[in-house]
Amino acid sequence: MRIFTRQRHVNEEALGLHALNDLPESRRERVARHLSGCTHCRGKYREAEELIHILRVAAKRTSLGAVLN
Ligand SMILES: [Zn+2]
């Protein structure tokens, strides 16, 4: 799995997995290092976190809860 786009930013899939704390250790470090120096990706990461939060709240009301938790 690639974690960087051609523009050398973190791609959406990797940002999402990072927000879910679901990236392998080595990739997590590279993404975290990039995020610490890139406001563009930090903004997108925050959006991913918000989306995951919304999904978790919604999932509590459905059977999706078992998948996301
Ligand atoms: Zn970036």
Rounded distance between C-alpha atoms, residue 69 and residue 65, angstroms: 6
User: Is 51 contained in some domain?
Assistant: yes
Q: What is the pLDDT along the chain (69 residues), one digit of tens a residue?
A: 899 999 999 999 999 999 999 999 999 999 999 999 999 999 999 999 999 999 888 888 886 656 665
Can you give the pTM of this predicted structure? 0.80
User: Is 4 contained in some domain?
Assistant: no
- How far, in Å, is the centroid of ligand 1 from the Cα of 35? 6
User: Is 2 contained in some domain?
Assistant: no
Those residues with Cβ within 8 angstroms of residue 3's Cβ, 6 or more apart along the chain or in another chain: 10, 11, 14, 23, 27, 30, 31
- How far, in Å, is the centroid of ligand 1 from the Cα of 38? 5
52 lies in which domain range?
12-68
- How far, in Å, is the centroid of ligand 1 from the Cα of 51? 19
User: Is 7 contained in some domain?
Assistant: no
Decide: 58 and 64 in contact? Cβ < 8 Å: yes
Structural domains counted in the chain = 1
